């Protein structure tokens, strides 16, 4: 009887330890210090694009695709000062079907880039065009509250691509614009 009890306790401890290891692996797989989007954005800045806070339209979006299957584990953005308590609507749309595959309102800090974990699993298929959209419609009496960080050059030259992540276009609209391909908005995607 003691042996059976001992085996049961050891089994329970082993199962718990393995589940903790899996959880730790999931956290380590989702590292915001590196992303394909940041690599593309950084390469744009390195090739003469300006790093600006601009474009007073409610919607900032870019169209992208991935070269291999991806799972989104974090989305990052930085609010403008004074808008920290006004949630941004973050969406991912499948261009081919016009279906919204992700939609969640989220607050962001203004002093640095902050991230949130989507409330649902987001799986991206290779070769499919998606739109990463952020909307800020709660801007009060100053449309300037809708500005955001972008990489911009007088002559944008889409597509921008690096390590299997391609940005093929961008748009800024609603209460201004549309301004297609004016710049690339900084909306970070972290993949597992």
Q: Where are the domains of the chain?
A: 1-30, 36-191
More confident residue, 11 or 60: 60
The residue behind tokens 């991935």 is: 66
Q: Give phi and psi for 106, each to the nearest 5.
A: -150, 140
**What pLDDT does 19 receive?**
47
In this prediction, residues 12-19 reach a mean pLDDT of 48
Residue 139 has pLDDT above 60, yes or no: yes
Cα separation, 33 vs 42, in Å, equals 13
**What pLDDT does 2 receive?**
54
Q: Is residue 176 helix, strand or coil? A: coil
Q: Could you tell me the pTM of the whole model?
A: 0.84
C-alpha closest to that of 165 among 77, 38, 73: 38
C-alpha closest to that of 82 among 49, 122, 53, 125: 53
Q: Is residue 170 helix, strand or coil? A: strand
In this prediction, residues 66-92 reach a mean pLDDT of 97
**What pLDDT does 146 receive?**
95
Task: Give CATH for domain 36-191.
Answer: 2.60.120
Cα separation, 128 vs 64, in Å, equals 8
Cα separation, 61 vs 171, in Å, equals 5
Cα separation, 78 vs 10, in Å, equals 47
Residue 6 has pLDDT above 50, yes or no: no
Residue 65 has pLDDT above 50, yes or no: yes
Q: Name 162's bridge partners.
A: 165
**What pLDDT does 140 receive?**
85
In this prediction, residues 87-104 reach a mean pLDDT of 98
Q: Is residue 57 helix, strand or coil? A: coil
């Amino acid at each position: 009887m003691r042996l059976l009890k001992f085996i049961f306790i050891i089994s329970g401890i082993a199962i718990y330890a393995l589940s903790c290891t899996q959880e730790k692996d999931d956290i380590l797989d989702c590292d915001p210090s590196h992303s394909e989007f940041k690599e593309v954005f950084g390469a744009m800045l390195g090739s003469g694009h300006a790093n600006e806070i601009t474009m007073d339209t409610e919607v900032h979006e870019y169209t992208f695709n991935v070269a291999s299957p991806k799972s989104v584990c974090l989305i990052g953005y930085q609010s403008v000062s004074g808008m920290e308590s006004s949630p941004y609507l973050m969406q991912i749309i499948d261009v081919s079907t016009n279906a919204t595959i992700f939609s969640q309102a989220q607050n962001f800090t203004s002093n640095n880039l902050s991230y949130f974990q989507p409330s649902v699993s987001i799986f991206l298929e290779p070769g499919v065009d998606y739109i990463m959209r952020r909307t800020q419609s709660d801007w009060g009496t100053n449309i300037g509250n809708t500005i955001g960080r972008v990489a911009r050059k007088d002559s944008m030259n889409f597509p921008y691509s690096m390590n299997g992540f391609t940005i093929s276009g961008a748009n800024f609209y609603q209460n201004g614009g549309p301004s297609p391909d004016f710049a690339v908005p900084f909306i970070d995607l972290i993949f597992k």
